[in-house]
Amino acid sequence: MLGAPVPSSAIVWWRAQMRSRREAAERATQPIMVIQGLAAACAAGLLIAAAGFFGPTFRGALDWLGGAANAVTGLGPMLIGVAAAIGLALIIVPLALYFTFHEE
């Protein structure tokens, strides 16, 4: 019966050191991840509360904007909203790609 090859003591020591560092890094990032999760939950709650609080105001403003746009352009408010979304996408997407792939 043949035995498995045993790695040298230097390799065993190096692997143990790398495992120790990796475990220490994972333990160090756990509190940060908890705080980030809590911050995201708080932000989502505030967004929902703000949407409920300011909803009637936004609805009235959109009704007014839709009526004004319809009077000026003859286009419906839905078409204006789609055009605005496409216009924003044409501005935001290239900027996001630039900052994503920009090398310093």
Q: Which pLDDT band, with edges at 50, 70 and 90, does 41 fall under?
A: very high
| CB-based contacts of 70, cutoff 8 Å, min separation 6 | 76, 77
Q: What is the pTM of this model?
A: 0.42
- Residue 25: both structure tokens together: 């890094």
pLDDT at 67 over 80: no
Count other C-beta atoms under 10 Å from residue 99's C-beta: 8
Q: Hey, which of 2-11, 41-50, 62-71 has the most confident mean pLDDT?
A: 41-50
Q: How far is CA 87 from the centre of its chain?
A: 21
Regarding predicted confidence, which is higher, 52 or 22? 22
Cα gap 61→69, rounded to integer Å: 12
